[in-house]
Amino acid sequence: MSIQNHRVRRAFCVPYGEYIAKRKEDMPEDSPFRVLDLGAGKGGDLQKWKKGNISYLVCADIAGTSLKHAEERYRELRERHRRQREPGHIFQAEFIEADCTRVRLKELFQHQNMTLDLVSCQFAFHYSFESLPQARCMLRNAAECLVPGGYFIGTTPDANDIV
């Protein structure tokens, strides 16, 4: 990942927390907060989700090796949380290896009727623009389980920076 991408990701740490807090204000107090991370990669945002005190995370990515790294990071995060006796709970997570531009993710969820409060797609959405059907599939994955009032937060690279 480039230095610019790291800067952009860091800039989103505070707004993510704000979006999570704002969404939680509109929810009953003990409601679960569920997130879908499209293009989750190696799980670089796991700490952010922990800090946001979410309840459930679905990580989806086409790269199985990267997703295995994310699962390992998640296990380490849970173990560290347990060892350090940190207050509160740590979110549950599932990991789905799939091409989000070609597969309907909802059908692969452990809980297929699950709704989502936030969908995040950081530096992966542009891969869906290979064809119109792929773009539609990615958009459906981002939107179909999102609750009214939920958030989609996406970041795409600037075409001028790719050249």
Domains and CATH numbers, the chain: 3-162 (3.40.50.150)
**pLDDT exceeds 90 at position 93:** yes
Percent of the chain topping pLDDT 90: 64
Of 35-39, 61-65, 123-127, the poorest mean pLDDT is in: 123-127
* pTM of the shown model: 0.86
pLDDT at position 64 is 96
**pLDDT exceeds 60 at position 4:** no
Show Cβ contacts of residue 60 under 8 Å, excluding neighbours closer than 6 positions: 36, 37, 38, 39, 40, 95, 96, 97, 98, 100, 105, 141
Q: For residue 9, name the pLDDT band (cuts at 50, 70, 90).
A: low
Q: pLDDT tens, 108-154?
A: 999 999 999 999 999 888 888 899 999 999 999 999 999 999 999 98
Show Cβ contacts of residue 122 under 8 Å, excluding neighbours closer than 6 positions: 9, 12, 37, 39, 45, 154, 155
Both tokens of 76, joined, read: 């380490």
